[in-house]
A and B are shown apart, each in its own frame.
Chain A
Amino acid sequence: MKYEPEIYAQTFADLLEKTKESEQNNLIKKFVLLIKKNGDLNGSEKIITSTQNYLSKKTGGRIVNIETASKLEDIDLQKITSNFKKSDVIKIIINPELLAGIRITINNEEELDYSLARKLKKMFNKK
């Protein structure tokens, strides 16, 4: 990549702040064109993640990943998501490797693991 995803994210977020709402679409189009021109379209996923992280940090929010082994009922999902702020970005991920239970990761840094996979691992690793 010509530039690090963090640099793209920071630049985009800073520009977004200075741009009027009516011109935001134009800014996004130009931003994508710039990424293409730099030949960094392959790293677009990283750029999006970095932008998301940067924007949420700026607004005081957090990136919350909620992983479950199977799809949750809407009521259960609402119960869980109601614990977070409005500015938090919540992602729901289905991860069968957890076997059962739930795993919540905040800002990709902190983790609360209530999955069966972890419990089994801990039980069998116990000495």
Chain B
Amino acid sequence: MAHEIIEKLKREIEGFKDSPEFETVGLVTEVGDGIAKVSGLSNTLSQEVLVIETESGEEVSALASNLEEASIGAIILGNSNLVRVGNRVRQTKKILSIKVGDELIGRVVNPLGVPEDGKGEIFKKTEKISEYFLERPAPSVVDRESVKTPLHTGIKSVDSMIPIGRGQRELIIGDRQTGKTAIALDAILNQKNDVGRPPVICIYVAIGQKNSKIAQIIKTLENAGAMEYTIVVSAPASAPASMQYLAPFAGCAIGEYFMDQGKDALVVYDDLSKHAQAYRELSLLLRRPPGREAYPGDIFFLHSRLLERAAKLSKEKGSGSLTALPIIETQLGDVSAYVPTNVISITDGQIYLESNLFYQGVRPAVNVGLSVSRVGSAAQTKAIKKVSSKLRLELAQFRELQAFVQFASDLDSNTKKKIERGELLTEVLKQSDQEPVPFEKATAILYASINGFLDDIPKPRIKEFENKFLDYLEKISKLGVLESMRKTSELGPETEEHLKTAISEFKKSF
């Protein structure tokens, strides 16, 4: 037995041919805090993956970031504790990329595409894998089309007044604990209910969050059956800043793969404030000059080049879309800080969440006055559009009169009515966490409330009315109101009549 092995080894050595040639090589001259300074390798590309040969024989990859005259500043992507001064560095001639394919769906990966869910290897069918660069130019003007298909979030106030279209970038902004992630999660969960339109593949990018929170989110998605069409890119608070910096780009690259396949994708960046902090950390360590709030000068470009990649592609390019829902956490409601203003100006609108509303029990705590959607109304279904304009107006009037609520008894009847209607609408727009409402149901209940059908219902019973009425429409009523709206996305005269009849009939039994 031993003899056979020795013979095999001999044959292997005899057959081994090696003809070394001149190779380009670099040397690590400084290392620390996940950053390595490398001398040599003067023809390295920006964002190229370098390989550091450590003393233990393990190869650690690094990302070329700062290309200077005599050296390179590289971000170490692996175990930086292994890297020592004097280690040799080699080029790979490869720009940082991630493996993408349909098999990614339902998986949890890190920003380099390594599975984090313990479910083993991701790609089993090798023919369906593509490599996508993490940094890619955004689709050009010619390749784009205007947003026209709605992306329903299942949140009544958002779908009616701040509509989001497929290919749009809508910012979710608010203080801590105001329900920002909950809105994004509801949007993911609702994609299951949104039949009649092509399905949406969702990508949830967790940046700098607690591991426990990420685990909870994954569990929520799994329990709701949403992981069947969702991918989670995880870069928790325990991950190095380099991973947190790369995470949104990895999520975007995955989204682009599906967009290029002609599919619709939704990517949630939770959150870009922490992303900006991770980038600030890296930039300072790379000794780039600090600017306002110590952020580097290209912090705007960092987010704009990321969010510009969200697009609705033209027919020639396959009609795919990538919708982006970036999240920004403000400090004490200060939206005029550096990063929030940057992202507000980049996106096509924002959903503004307020702590005060949250504590008053208005949940989701959306401030409809400050929230806007610049392009979404073009994508809104005709059914919901019919109720939204009146809803907006009534709520705006209510906001103006809100200060007089305390003196309600001294007011004239018209003002009183407006205040009561506003309170009613606020009550109707409230909804629980993880209970997205399909657009046809939202249309039905909003129609009933703005047309005065709910005026005689006491406020505490509004929720009960809504639940029972929507159940009635779905299961008992034979007029097919919801089905008709689902099919046509319209609230035509006939359906409207049917809806009125259904409301009257239901009210008799309520």
A residues neighboring B (CB under 8 Å): 6, 46, 50, 105-114, 118-119, 121-123, 126
Contacts and interface: CB of A to CB of B under 8 A. Distances in A.
B24 interface: yes
B23 A108 contact: no
Interface in B21-43: 21-27, 29, 39-42
Interface of B: 12-13, 16, 18, 20-27, 29, 39-42, 57, 69-70, 88
A122 B90 CA distance: 15
9 contacts: A106-B22, A107-B40, A108-B27, A108-B39, A109-B40, A111-B22, A111-B24, A118-B20, A119-B16
Contact of B25 (A50, A109, A123, A126): A109
B57 A109 contact: no
Query: Of B18, B21, B24, B42, which is in contact with the most chain A CB atoms at under 10 Å from its CB?
Result: B18
Main secondary structure of the interface of A (DSSP, over half): mixed
Nearest to A9: B70
A114 to B, nearest CB: 6
Contacts of B18: 119, 122-123
A6 B20 contact: no
Contact of A113 (B20, B29, B39, B70): B20
A10 B57 CA distance: 37
A109 B20 contact: no
Contact of B23 (A107, A113, A126): A113
B70 A109 contact: no
Nearest to A119: B18
B16 A110 contact: no
A123 B16 contact: yes
Nearest to A111: B25
Contacts of A109: 24-26, 40-42
Contacts of A50: 70
A18 to B, nearest CB: 23
A113 B18 CA distance: 11
A112 B20 contact: yes
A110 B57 contact: no
A53 B401 CA distance: 77
Contact of B22 (A108, A112, A118, A119): A112
Nearest to A104: B22
B291 to A, nearest CB: 22
A111 B88 CA distance: 10
Contact of B24 (A46, A110, A121): A110
B57 A121 contact: yes
Contacts of B22: 106, 110-112
Nearest to B70: A6
Given A108-B39, A108-B40, A114 B25 contact: no
A107 B27 CA distance: 11
Contacts of B29: 46
Contact of A105 (B12, B25, B70): B25
